[in-house]
Structure 1
Amino acid sequence: MSERLQWIQDELDRLKESGLYNRIRTISTPQGAWLVVDGKRVLNFCSNNYLGFANHPRLVEKARQALEKYGVGPGAVRTIAGTLDLHTELERRIAAFKGVDAAITFQSGFTANLATIAALVGKEDVVFSDELNHASIIDGCRLSGARIVRYAHADPVDLEARIRENEGTYRRAIAITDGVFSMDGDIAPLDKIYEVTSAYNVMLMVDDAHGEGVLGKGGRGIVDHFNLHGKVDIEIGTFSKAFGVVGGVSAGSPLVVEWLRQRGRPFLFSSATPAADVAACIAAIDVLEESTELVDRLWENARYFKAEMKKLGFDTGVSVTPITPIMLGEAPLAQQFSRELFEEGVFAMAIGYPTVPHGKARIRVMISAAHSKDDLDKGLEAFARVGKRLGVIG
């Protein structure tokens, strides 16, 4: 090994010693309630596939048709020769679904955040950011060059205090929050945050990655959940979670969307999303607009699983959504818990630092509409056995 790279090996060894090394498992089946992982059939409690769309026959068929019509790749960035009629159709459909005036799509939710933040603020500006915001928001803020002011998690009173402290020190300001926080499953008080930002003329942006397909009427998201249509300047979303595909979106003000077409760097400098993925996203909207059945089933499953886990004595944190963290504390315990669950036939990965703070390691269970009650009961039995064996529950 090169001496100049020895530091990497040293750091990897330290991660292993502290229980923070990620051992990545390999899946050989489509996403669903059950998977084959590392050659073993296991119950899937890991995926963000909230509605079971990742292998939904209607999405698969629309993707196949698009593949045959348009081929496998876009061949260009959107601004040169990469914008298909499918791209503009998806943008119209997702805007209508979310009840906004305009939308622009990106290759992922991560790039949507990077593009949007960097286009809206710069070195003379300030971002007021929830202290638990997603890594893509943090990275977008850093890339923008704007001054970053963190406010206490989901605390509009502290947000107002931070704004007041910084009044007169910036050209433009934006407040950014996750809608649903992916590690804890709690919801930002977006109505109260809006009251603060509107009072101080601060732009408001929400990342709805875990709210789309979950919150609001038929899964229309956090803005619909709080009835804030027309009041939030920009909503970021992803098609990789409840929509079951891949891609990102910025939706809201037509002015912001048009500016992103001119200055959103991932839009300008990275190839467009392939047609098959775009067609599958449109098919997901079709299904959601036809019925709330899958969203209703998701919430029914989530309520049942949470209630039963609490009866067993597990700590599920502050979650009020289908995201169900099983709080364990230290990373080595969480990793051992995950390994023993796998032996019991349950795929539920441990999450530790830096994804969550030190001392707050957990197993994060992702409930899906694809799970049957029998699936959930099997999972509950496995958690009970492992929990008792490791002394987590009595």
Structure 2
Amino acid sequence: MALFDKYAALIGQFASLEATGYNPFNVSFDTVLSPTEAMIGARRILLFGTNNYLGLTYDRAVIEAAAEATQRLGAGTTGSRVANGSYGTHRQLERHLADFYGRKHGMVFSTGYQANLGILSALAGKDDHLILDADSHASIYDGSRLGHAQVTRFRHNDPADLDNRLRRLADTPGDKIIVVEGIYSMLGDTAPLREFVEVKRKWGAYLVIDEAHSLGVLGRTGRGLAEAAGVEADVDFVVGTFSKSLGGIGGFCVSDMDGFDILRVASRPYMFTASLPPSVVAAVTEALNQLRHRPALRQQLLDNARRFHAGLADLGFNIGPEASPVVSAIMPDPATAFTFWSKLLEAGLYTNVSLPPATPKGLALLRSSVSAAHSRSQIDHAVQLFAETGRAMGLIGDQAAAPPEMRVAAQ
């Protein structure tokens, strides 16, 4: 048996994609022009699949901060913070994050994936219990495996099922740690966090919320769903990423929990991964500053998200239940999703194909992400391309919805 025979089914699926002449996993942009446009060969492509929620990747102050830090502190750290030491800017970013969230402690990881991997594996050992929303991100599931905790899943966004699961575990030794997300990355829906908090209090559990897709999006100051729901005091740990609203790479955790710093030696992904380079730390620090002092960015993002969500809904697409920066059109099957994606790309629109097991309930999705940097005309053009492609494939009717300007004015 050959080493990769275990991936025979996956290899077959990949080969079938290659045979069709399009493959969403091999898209390469020759030039990225802005947060909203790129070039593939000589074709200009409108970007609706980048998670660049606040459009800060090309912000002048963010770029200048990264360039200055590289000149002053070098290209990289060449090792972990435990082995090579922390730079002053690492500590500074952690203080800024803790201050932003009104928390005592902050901890920075090299990726958002590692933040979940490192925090969950350190918080819950083999005698503890992680109670996960069934639609949790892969990094949450992987973090639970690394720590060897007992894992219990509850139905997505179902407080009653969470309550039932914790009731069954009430007499079982070990800590119980609930893990939910602010905005779920596939359908863009939010967690019923107030109801989850009530269940958490009832059973004396701990609560971790991953605000990866809700940082910079929800809440009066952009802290995420916990702020928007008014339950920040009941959330024990907030995990997030720098690769969405802050336009960089990296992850973090903030908390008021006493003894928090022991996680720096208990978390293997933190201990054994090279730390973020100075340029990234500086860029993220400035991006966080922009988030805090430019609330208009968040409002523009939400306006764009509502416009795009309404546009696809009015055309008759089956989409997620809430207007958020994540807008997914549910496709009948994976083959249709790939074909739709390909036709959109040929027309000049880049989106994402999302398939099982990454998607809930085995859905095939055409996933788009909206940015504050998108103009109204770009939003409307993307809706138009969805309409033309959907009609050509027989997925929506021939009757056009009202023009975007009329739809938005009517809301």
Q: TM-score, normalised by structure 1?
A: 0.95
How big is each residue's C-alpha offset from its partner over 1:276-323, in whole Å with a ceiling of 9 and x where there is no partner? 000001101111221201100000111111112212111212233121
Go from structure 1 to structure 2 and tell me whether the alpha carbon gap of 1:298 and 1:309 turns closer, same or farther (over 3 Å shift): same
Identify the residue that residue 220 of structure 1 maps to in structure 2: 223
Identify the residue that residue 248 of structure 1 maps to in structure 2: 251
Unaligned runs of at least 5 residues, structure 1: none
Identify the residue that residue 23 of structure 1 maps to in structure 2: 25
Identify the residue that residue 39 of structure 2 maps to in structure 1: 36
Q: Distance in 1 between matches of 2:73 and 2:182?
A: 35
Unaligned runs of at least 5 residues, structure 2: 398-411
Q: Distance in 1 between matches of 2:70 and 2:344?
A: 38
Q: Matched residue pairs, number?
A: 393
- 1:110 is paired with a residue of what secondary structure? helix
Go from structure 1 to structure 2 and tell me whether the alpha carbon gap of 1:45 and 1:150 turns closer, same or farther (over 3 Å shift): same
Contact 1:77–1:268 (Cα < 8 Å) also in 2: yes
Q: Distance in 2 between matches of 1:112 and 1:392?
A: 39
2:90 is equivalent to residue 91 of structure 1: no
- 1:217 is paired with a residue of what secondary structure? coil
Instruction: Give the superposed CA RMSD.
Output: 1.9
Counterpart mapping for 1:151-300 below 5 A: 151-255=154-258, 257-300=260-303
Identify the residue that residue 70 of structure 2 maps to in structure 1: 67
2:375 is equivalent to residue 372 of structure 1: yes
Q: Distance in 1 between matches of 2:391 and 2:384?
A: 11
Q: Distance in 2 between matches of 1:4 and 1:261?
A: 37
- 2:209 is paired with a residue of what secondary structure? strand
How big is each residue's C-alpha offset from its partner over 1:140-183, in whole Å with a ceiling of 9 and x where there is no partner? 11111111110010111110100001112231110111111000
Q: Distance in 1 between matches of 2:350 and 2:316?
A: 21
Q: Distance in 2 between matches of 1:361 and 1:263?
A: 38
Identify the residue that residue 50 of structure 1 maps to in structure 2: 53
- 1:46 is paired with a residue of what secondary structure? coil
Q: Distance in 2 between matches of 1:49 and 1:138?
A: 24
Aligned identity (percent) is: 33
Q: Distance in 1 between matches of 2:357 and 2:294?
A: 39
Go from structure 1 to structure 2 and tell me whether the alpha carbon gap of 1:266 and 1:310 turns closer, same or farther (over 3 Å shift): same
How big is each residue's C-alpha offset from its partner over 1:241-267, in whole Å with a ceiling of 9 and x where there is no partner? 110000000111243531212211122
Q: Which moved more, 1:199-208 or 1:21-30?
A: 21-30
Q: TM-score, normalised by structure 2?
A: 0.91
Q: Which moved more, 1:12-21 or 1:116-125?
A: 12-21
Go from structure 1 to structure 2 and tell me whether the alpha carbon gap of 1:304 and 1:354 turns closer, same or farther (over 3 Å shift): same
How much does 1:134 deviate? 0.4
Contact 1:218–1:295 (Cα < 8 Å) also in 2: no
Identify the residue that residue 321 of structure 1 maps to in structure 2: 324
Q: Distance in 2 between matches of 1:256 and 1:343?
A: 54
